[in-house]
Amino acid sequence: MDINTICPGCLEKTGVGDICPRCGFDRNSHRDSKYLPYGYLLSGRYLLGKVLEENGDGITYLAFDTADSTKIRVREFYPAGLCSRNADSAVTVISGEEFRFRDALENFKTLWKKLAHLRGIGAIVPVFDIIEDNNTVYAVCEYYDDITLRDYLMDNGGFLTWEQAKPLLMPVLSCIKSLHVSGIIHYGISPYTILMGSDGKLRLWGFSIKEVRLFNNTYQNEIYEGYAPIEAYNPSFECSERSDVYSFGAVLYRTLVGITPIDSKIRYTNDQLVVPAAIAEKMQPCVINALVNSLQVLPEDRTVSVDRMRDELLATPSVIESANEKREVPSKNSKPQKKEKVAVTVISRSEDRANAKMKIERLVFVCILLVIVIVFSLLSFTGVITFNKKGSSDGNNPSEAVQAQEAYVTVPNFIGQDKDSQDYRSMYPELNIVFEQAVISYTPENKIVAQSIAANTRVAPGTQIVLSYYGPSGTVVIPDLAGLTREEALLTLGSLGLNNVKTAEKTNDSGYTQNTVASQTPEKGEVVNKDKEIVLYVWGESKNSSAGGTSQRTQNATSIIDSVFSGIGSLFGR
């Protein structure tokens, strides 16, 4: 075989020309001196082509196995900043870095040897060979025609349903379990290190030594924001199997919700993680529960293992039994901790509608104000109204326009302030300030986290502005569940950490939709502890057959309303 006829870009036999007629690769393109040259024959067998990727501990090459005539991946240990490459392609350690280089080299070798023993696991990219050459180590791995999970999601609408994601991701979770049994923690699980092959299967890739995945000044770190646990940033937290649990939970969140989770270093001080109602309504309660537990910021609050996470995702009997047990609630007199266990927020449909209505009202107000400004400007331009240097006009009422402008009030920024630190109503008498507790309580208590009208908005005196704040630790505001199905209500309550829920059937003599919530105790808006018993009164089977059509028409009308509000939410960037 004439290796000079193989293109380094696609590894196809395309002749000896400089430009590949198949992929357009230019053999004369610049090649960084730290890379092995095009056409380098490793161990007399593996022909190296273009670089696929690199990070703090190495370089991955596209390669060709001349013995089997197949494409492969070759991973070379080459820690940036600790070594260089000489003219003979060998790796030379930078003076003074010998100890760290040798230590990292041994860690790299151990990692890839363990991975080679796991070759039979379907959701890991197989490792065929470990080669020691050029004063470093190489791992020879199988090559797939693949894309990252992130690109796959972007090509398929941005997210998947649980029914679509389950057969893809559950084998990856089993693979992570096998890694942990073998003493391997990945530390970098993300949509960028999970590959979708042309065979429709996901495989885990992106293995690196631990030091590359942790924030430090020794190595060129590769940390995937949104998917890295707090342990990756803060050395006071111990890395463990729970680190991979968090990362996989973040991947699951990205897959099902369609957005990258807020990074753990931000959530550590300001924990707000949201699952929109439109997405949450389609999730099973067990999936919400698994997300909540796996994405806890503090390791001690997090799901203990991938086995436990699998059980929660599949709602095994042991998980259902433990979920029905009452949770321990801190005493009101106990001192608040730095962080408390936080649940994923599910925005209720009533909140969505209220937000959409509020956006419409803002838009109407802005439009009216814009018309006034345009008319006023035209009058000024045509000479009907003119101002002297002091701002007065030549009309009969010189200060009328200025007075109209001064009648409006600029809304301040309340977010981040303490609810009880000052008398807001006295400070801003021109605003009708109303306080309400946020649906889920976090620490620190009484911190204002949202306001119904954005800061710097100009509003008329007396305009009501609602300030949402975090309430006492361990408390929750009961949402409005009326009209939801029993399953939707249980999902919503479970996402808020309310698992002590009972249901009671209510006689249905008026044709109400069966299995929907008629009422609840406690009622909506009440603030309760998370162990509070919640009773849902659910409509039973309709006893009025003639009302069946009315019930169906009501359902159709509700569907239309939901569609309208969904469209409005999309229009205004919901």
pLDDT of residue 385: 35
Burial level of 291, CB count in 10 A (0-12/13-18/19+)? buried
How much is the average pLDDT of 31-38? Answer: 92
SS3 state at 36: coil
Share above pLDDT 90 across residues of the chain, in percent, rounded to a whole number: 45
| Host H or E run for residue 265 | helix 264-267
Per-residue 3-state assignment (H helix, E strand, C coil) for 290-322: HHHHHCCCCHHHCCCCHHHHHHHHHCCHHHHHH
How sure is the predictor about 426, in pLDDT bands with cuts at 50, 70 and 90? confident
With tokens 């969140």, the residue in question is: 253
Position 391 pLDDT exceeds 70: no
Cα separation, 346 vs 13, in Å, equals 55
Whose CA is closest to 295, among 324, 262, 319? 262
User: In this structure, what token pair is assigned to residue 518?
Assistant: 């008629």
pLDDT above 60: residue 331: no
Mean pLDDT of 172-182: 96
CB 286 within 8 A of CB 490: no
Find, among 48, 75, 43, 40, the residue nearest to 59 by Cα: 75
For helices 486-495 and 285-294, angle between their N-to-C axes, nearest 10 degrees: 10
Instruction: Check residue 230 and report its DSSP letter.
Output: G
Q: State how far the Cα of 292 lies from the Cα of 253, in Å rounded to an integer.
A: 10
Give first-to-last CA distance, the chain, whole Å. 60
Output the CA torsion 482→485→490→491 (10° steps): -110
What is the C-alpha to C-alpha distance for residues 543 and 58, in angstroms, rounded to an integer?
71
Task: Report the alpha-carbon distance of residue 212 to residue 189 in Å, rounded.
Answer: 13
Least confident of 94-98, 356-360, 408-412: 356-360
* pLDDT at residue 336, as a whole number: 43
Residue 79 CA to residue 171 CA, distance in Å, equals 31
The whole-angstrom separation of Cα 334 and Cα 329 is: 10
Does 227 or 474 have the greater pLDDT score? 227
pLDDT over 80 (residue 368):
no
More reliable by pLDDT, 455 or 360: 455
Average pLDDT score over residue span 416-434: 84
133 — pLDDT class (breaks 50, 70, 90): very high
Helix (H, G, I), strand (E, B) or coil at 180: helix
Q: Do 35 and 59 touch, CB atoms closer than 8 A?
A: yes
| Chain segment 71-118, per-residue pLDDT in tens | 999 999 999 889 999 999 999 999 999 999 999 999 999 999 999 999
Q: How many Å apart are CA 151 and CA 191, to the nearest integer?
A: 8
Residue 363 pLDDT level (bands cut at 50, 70, 90): low
pLDDT higher than threshold 90 for residue 278: no
pLDDT for the residue 365:
64
Q: Is the pLDDT of residue 195 over 90?
A: yes
Under DSSP, is residue 467 helix (H, G, I), strand (E, B) or coil?
strand
Tell me which amino acid residue 512 is.
Y
Per residue in 457-513, pLDDT tens?
878 888 888 887 767 656 778 888 888 888 778 877 876 778 788 989 989 888 888
CA–CA separation, 279 and 282 (whole Å): 6
* Averaged pLDDT of the chain: 80
| Reported confidence tier of residue 374, pLDDT bands at 50, 70, 90 | low
- Give the pLDDT confidence of 516-567 residue by residue, as tens digits: 999 999 988 888 887 889 999 998 887 764 444 444 444 444 444 444 344 4
Dihedral Cα 205, 230, 442, 347, nearest 10 deg: -20
Mean pLDDT of the 240-262 span: 96
